[in-house]
Amino acid sequence: MAAGTGKTGAGENRTIPRHVAVIMDGNGRWAKKRGLPRTAGHAAGSENFRKIATYCKNIGMDYLTVYAFSTENWKRPPEEVGTIMRLLRRYLNEAVETMERDRIRMKVFGNVEALPEELRLLVAKTDEISSRYQGFQANICLNYGGRDEIVSAARRYARDLAAGVAPAELTEDLFSGYLYSAGIPDPELIIRTGGEQRISNFLLWQCAYSEFYYTDTYWPDFGPEELDRAIEAFNARDRRFGGIK
Ligand code: IPE
Ligand code: IPE
Ligand code: MG
């Protein structure tokens, strides 16, 4: 899959992955370290997402997919869930106002049906705006789980089967078309901030050949310089896809 080429600050060539995905972890610990409530960490994390998305667009990336709220995150205390939903609502409201001007398309991956109505309407609105132009796209995983995504894809495929589609026609490519990420190349690079080295139910299908980059930096502190370091590490990887050199 062709990756875009961007330039480093030094002018030396590097490959910018077409699609980078980020598990934005560590908001709570970032706040705790500063003696602040966890919710302050989520606010700072949301601010950092704006900054990183703009940077990704400016260096010529095509897609940035971020994990904002998982299907498992409902286990958190209702006050924390409420704060995260409020921040997401605020973010999407602002996006509706600014995304066309900033040329940022946006898509929400996840079970949107289960979200509060106001959020559902905002998602529909950002979809509508995004459909009007081309260019950099941010995907926000919201009420997202990799297993849930695969099961809901299977459910939709089963409906097509019942309508007469032949099972023998199913291929990996065709199945990918039932996922939230339909039509989007798999992420070449997946970054996890906050020190944990696990996938936490993120992009289980799409990560088949992704390169992983872990950092102890908490998400609100993960700036463009560190993203550059992750891209540099990606450039140094030897991707074989099961073949040999
Ligand atoms: C990531 O930060 C944001 C969400 C999961 C919503 P956390 O809230 O998980 O922060 P830590 O891992 O507790 O520090
Ligand atoms: C993963 O972080 C989910 C998001 C970043 C939205 P978690 O903090 O929920 O992951 P675990 O619980 O450490 O696996
Ligand atoms: Mg966490």
Per-residue pLDDT 10s for the chain (245 aa) are 344 444 444 446 899 999 999 999 999 999 999 999 999 999 999 999 999 999 999 999 999 999 999 999 999 999 999 999 999 999 999 999 999 899 899 999 999 999 999 999 999 999 999 999 999 999 999 999 999 999 999 999 999 999 999 999 999 999 999 999 999 999 999 999 999 999 999 999 999 999 999 999 999 999 999 999 999 999 999 999 999 98
18 within 8 A of 2, measured Cβ to Cβ: yes
Pocket lining: 235 vs ligand 1, CB cutoff 6 Å: no
* Runs of H (alpha helix) within the chain: 27-33, 38-58, 78-102, 117-130, 146-162, 172-176, 224-235
Whether 73 is a known active-site residue: answer yes
Q: What is the reported pTM?
A: 0.95
Pocket lining: 219 vs ligand 2, CB cutoff 6 Å: no
Q: Which atom of ligand 2 is nearest to the CA of 144?
A: 6
63-70/211-214 β-pairing: unpaired
Pocket lining: 143 vs ligand 2, CB cutoff 6 Å: no
Whether 25 is a known active-site residue: answer yes
Residues 188, 21: Cα–Cα separation, whole Å: 8
Measure 69 CA to ligand 3 centroid, in angstroms.
Answer: 10
Measure 28 CA to ligand 1 centroid, in angstroms.
Answer: 5
Architecture of domain 13-145+185-236: 3-Layer(aba) Sandwich (3.40)
Pocket lining: 74 vs ligand 2, CB cutoff 6 Å: no
**197: which DSSP letter?**
-
Residues 126, 117: Cα–Cα separation, whole Å: 14
